Chain A
Amino acid sequence: YDPDLHPFEVAREYTRAMNAVKMERIFARPFICGLDGHRDSVQCITKHSTQLSLLLSGSCDGEIKIWNVAQRVCQGTIPAHNGFVRGICVMPDGEAFYSVGNDKLIKRWTMNNYETPAMTIVGKHVFTSIDHHYKNPQYATSGETVSLWDEQRAQPLQTFKWGADSHARVKFNPIETTVLASCAADRSIILYDTRQSVPLRKITLRMNSSTLAWNPLEAFVFTTANEDYNLYSFDIRYLQRPFNIHKDHVAAVTDVDYSPTGKEFVSGSYDKTIRIFPSDKGHSRDIYHTKRMQHITCVQWTADNKYVISGSDEMCLRLWKAKASEKLGVTRNREAETLEYNDALKEKFSHFPKIKRIARQRHVPKHVYHAKREHKTIQDSQKRHEANARANSKPGSVPFVSERSKLVLEEEE
């Protein structure tokens, strides 16, 4: 290889990087299709544990629909509950699934029988969500309390209680399978272990968390979607402060789900947008929105890492690409090489201002754009006040406090 035969290396690579970034924006068409059929707003979505193309969604009129996403048809409708369907969870072996609703019932259905549930359990209070243990035949429900149930029993094995009067969500850890976490209505997040009879730890935040999601590849990481427009990623070994704050939404975040690689997660929020965040960064890498899509209630990332599904208030489920400019379908070898080369170029030149500006550019709905501007003004003015106070008072009296350490109000054991 003679570098003299290839003059202007950096300039040519820069031009190629520029072209790559522009083409990425040209081909960024994330919306694939909408799945119509529900007659009330979609309340919860779950992906099937073993079959890639199956999706289960529950709506506010008590119906559960089973979708075949690959063929974009609804395979079956189950009139499951007499009120909202609050949560659905599929058993790890894929044979059956559970659903809970506003009518205080836990129903267990087998995959083929959509007429009658295999089992019905009457509970004492309204259940808000359900999640299945990843290994054992156990599941947990949240409502007034967090209860651990056995598949065969009609009474819960254990009931965890710590202060809060209602829990919004409960989620099992996919790797440390005995650990579960719940979001409680007293702005706290509580960690439990199924081997213990009392909850492990409780942290209180500034505002309520609507849900949380465990990282499928890092056992100790979970991300909560909070009502103060942010998402917080915690390490359960050090709950004093979140190790990352993900900011970009302009209204309460309603749902969050991790990608199967554990490197990214998708969050849907009340501000009618879906954002995809990298797990280690503080801002979103992409935003999906449509004029027709109203407040988003639930999001899921499909198990093949390629698609994101959102369910929203206007009775529609939408299928999006996880990478907006990805080419679906078979890519030939040369094409794949070129795409990889373009990715490498974009990463190499990502700090050049022109390229950064193009890569960052997204069309954002007007209400989000204006809200963000307003929030920025508010933040800037707060910082300015603090800086002025610091400049005009005794050195050290107004310390620099990081935002992360301000978040957790208290931690209890």
Chain B
Amino acid sequence: MATRRTKKWLHVKERKSKFATRQATRSEILHVEEEGYIAPDTVDNEDERIVDLTQADIKSSVDIFSAQKRFDLQLPLYGPYHIDYTRNGRHLLLGGRKGHVAAFDWQTKKLHCELNVMEQINDVKWLHIETMYAVAQRQWTYIYDNQGVEVHCLKALDRSLHLEFLPYHFLLAATNEAGYLSYIDVSIGKKVAAYNTRIANGNGKCGTSVMCQNPSNAMIGLGHAGGVVTFWSPNQREPVVKMLAHKSTIRSVAVERTGTYMATSGVDAKLKIWDLRTYKCVNEYRTASTGASALTFSQKNLLAASYRDIVEIYKDLYDEESSSTELPRYLVHQCPNGSSIASIAFCPYEDVLGVGHDRGFVSLLVPGAGEPNFDALEANPYQTKKQRKHAEVKQLLDKIQPDMITLDNSVLSEIDRKAFVRKQDEKQKEFNFVKPKELIAKAEKKKGKIGKRLARKSQIHDAKLKEFLQQKQLKRQKTKK
């Protein structure tokens, strides 16, 4: 029942929110950088294709500051390298399979630490800040300080194959050789959940190392041997979503930053793009023989895929008009000496793709990959030490509890109709005298099972309201007489 007062209050709120949006758009004047891609000089010129451009060509045609972002690190001794960039894209972590770990600021080439952990390394991951990182070693997972000092040994994450860090929840997720997905809260050091993911798969013999994170809703996506992709949240023993993506083993999964699209690649040499709202395949492409061993999205929705020793970057993947199964390649790079690629990662806020391979690390220029304007309150590549400390405190204060991880983010901002109806019914049972409250009418939608249940409940509620109003009418008639 909207009284005059609530109407006025709503009106004021609307005016304030309009003002806020206007001010937010005004602040875009502060966006100094512009985004751009490589575009061909003349359209449809067969002689000049963007794909044919080499890194050397790109390097020679950009300014010095960008050119120095293209570099090679030759580390032939310690095995295929796993890489990770920090959230602000400033620091790089390299972990070689034979135990070599190095953390450095890749733009200034300032080394933070370099050590050998004397054990096989399966994965490395930065935590929320550049002073701590996690290394998934053969036996357990260790957390190191950026000086190389071992800070923690996480025995709960034993024999981890792959690590993922959820920055807003401070959760470190790891898949196990035995098939367990574990979550650890890094801020308090508590294990939040551990689920056996082989149940989802059915016939899986061991754990999967195919893992990705959906950055928009903090779900962990795993790819299984039967072609099944499952999404997990730390609140449920069962996977939240289970979808059959390929007819064969899945080799890699990646989810785009806004959480609308997912790319999967399987051994059946197909690369499929899925719409995560409807769980339908948007596009299907043919790839090289055994599928991409690693997939990753950039901030500007370029997809990088690695096939043995080649990394390919695709642009405009969601173009629904094109019906071809040929991948829209943008840039291509081949690693020298045929060294196979272990991991790839786009650097946030930079037009750079980092590739870790058998014999070291390579940083490639990919124009148009990164988000040009960063929000310093979220991730600041030019942080001072003091800013970093303050930012860490703020991040910890804003840490979202793991039980708020849901598939649909908008649940929190909507009215909980079910709880309202349930409360009214409970009250009605207890005391007979509840004055019926009105619920705001929802737009008519196609009703599922829950919708029909709600409809039945609202019928009962309407009947009670009717009785109340009838009594009021009777009273009015009486006073008239």
Choose from A11, A386, A387, A396 the contact partner of B412 (Cβ within 8 Å): A11
A29 interface residue (CB < 8 Å to B) = no
Residues in A lying within 8 Å of B, measured CB to CB: 1-2, 4-8, 10-12, 14-16, 19, 380, 383-384, 386-388, 390-391, 395-396, 399-400
Q: Which of B374, B431, B432, B472 contacts A400 (CB 8 A)?
A: B472
When distances are taken between beta carbons in the complex, the residues of chain A under 8 Å from B435 are 400
Which residues of B sit under 8 angstroms from A1, Cβ to Cβ?
A: 24-25, 27-28
Interface membership of B216, Cβ < 8 A: yes
Shortest CB–CB separation between residue A186 and chain B, in angstroms? 29
Report A347 CB to chain B, min CB distance, Å.
10
> Is A384 in contact with B27, judged by CB distance below 8 angstroms?
no
Residues of A within 8 A of B470 (CB): 395
Tell whether, in the assembled complex, residue A384 and residue B471 are in contact, meaning their CB atoms are under 8 Å apart. Answer: no
Query: Is B168 touching A19 in the complex (CB atoms < 8 A)?
Result: no
Check A12/B398 contact, CB under 8 A, given A384-B433, A386-B433: yes
The verdict on A4 contacting B258 (CB below 8 Å), with A12-B168, A12-B400, A399-B471 known, is yes
Q: Which residues of B, 391-441, contact A by the 8 Å Cβ criterion?
A: 397-401, 404, 409-410, 412-413, 431-433, 435
A4 to B371, CA, bound (A): 11
The complex places the Cα of A384 from the Cα of B433 at a distance, in Å, of 7
Q: Encode contact with A along B307-340: 1 for CB under 8 Å, 0 otherwise.
A: 0000000000000000000000000000000000
Q: Please provide the 8 A-B residue pairs with the shortest distance between their CB atoms, ordered closest to farther.
A: A396-B474, A387-B433, A387-B432, A1-B24, A10-B412, A11-B400, A10-B413, A399-B475
B25, B397, B412, B432: the one contacting A14 at CB < 8 Å is B412
B432:A384 contact, CB within 8 angstroms: yes
Nearest CB in chain B to that of A344: its residue: B16
- B218 within 8 Å of A by Cβ? yes
Closest residue on chain B to residue A383 by CB atoms: B433
The answer to whether B475 touches A396, judged by C-beta atoms less than 8 angstroms apart, is yes
Q: Does B277 contact A (CB under 8 A)?
A: no
Please give the number of chain B residues whose Cβ is less than 8 angstroms from any Cβ of chain A in the complex.
36
Q: Which of B21-51 contact A (CB under 8 A)?
A: 24-25, 27-28
Asked if B400 and A8 sit within 8 Å, CB to CB, the answer is yes
Say whether B471 contacts A395, CB under 8 Å.
yes
Query: In the complex where A387-B433, A399-B471 touch, is A7 in contact with B400 (Cβ < 8 A)?
Result: no
Determine the distance from Cα of A1 to Cα of B27 in the docked complex, in whole angstroms: 7
**When each residue 371-401 of chain B gets 1 if its CB lies under 8 Å from chain A and 0 otherwise, what string results?**
1001100100000000000000000011111
Expressed in whole angstroms, the Cα–Cα distance for A8 and B218 within the complex equals 9
B59 at the interface (CB under 8 A from A): no
Contact between B432 and A388 (Cβ–Cβ < 8 Å)? yes
Once the chains bind, are B472 and A8 in contact (CB under 8 Å)?
no
How close is B405's CB to chain A, nearest CB, in angstroms? 9
B191 at the interface (CB under 8 A from A): no
Known: A4-B258, A15-B400, A384-B432. 20 other contacts (CB 8 A): A1-B25, A1-B27, A1-B28, A5-B375, A7-B215, A8-B168, A8-B409, A10-B413, A11-B168, A11-B404, A11-B409, A14-B412, A15-B397, A384-B431, A386-B433, A387-B431, A390-B432, A395-B474, A399-B471, A400-B472
Whether B257 sits at the interface, judged by CB under 8 Å, is yes
Q: Could you say which of B168, B371, B401, B478 contacts A7, with CB atoms under 8 Å apart?
A: B168
Residue of A nearest to B258 (CB): A4
* 18 interchain pairs, CB-CB under 8 A: A1-B28, A4-B258, A5-B378, A8-B400, A10-B409, A10-B410, A10-B412, A10-B413, A11-B168, A11-B400, A12-B400, A16-B398, A383-B431, A384-B432, A386-B433, A388-B432, A391-B432, A396-B471
B71 CB-CB contact with A under 8 Å = no
Across the interface, which residues of A come within 8 angstroms of B27, CB to CB? Answer: 1
Pairwise interchain contact B412-A7, C-beta atoms closer than 8 A: no
Q: How far is the CB of A381 from chain B (nearest CB, A)?
A: 10
Closest to A4 in B: B258
Chain A positions within 8 Å of B258 at CB level: 4
Chain A: minimal CB distance from B168 (Å): 5
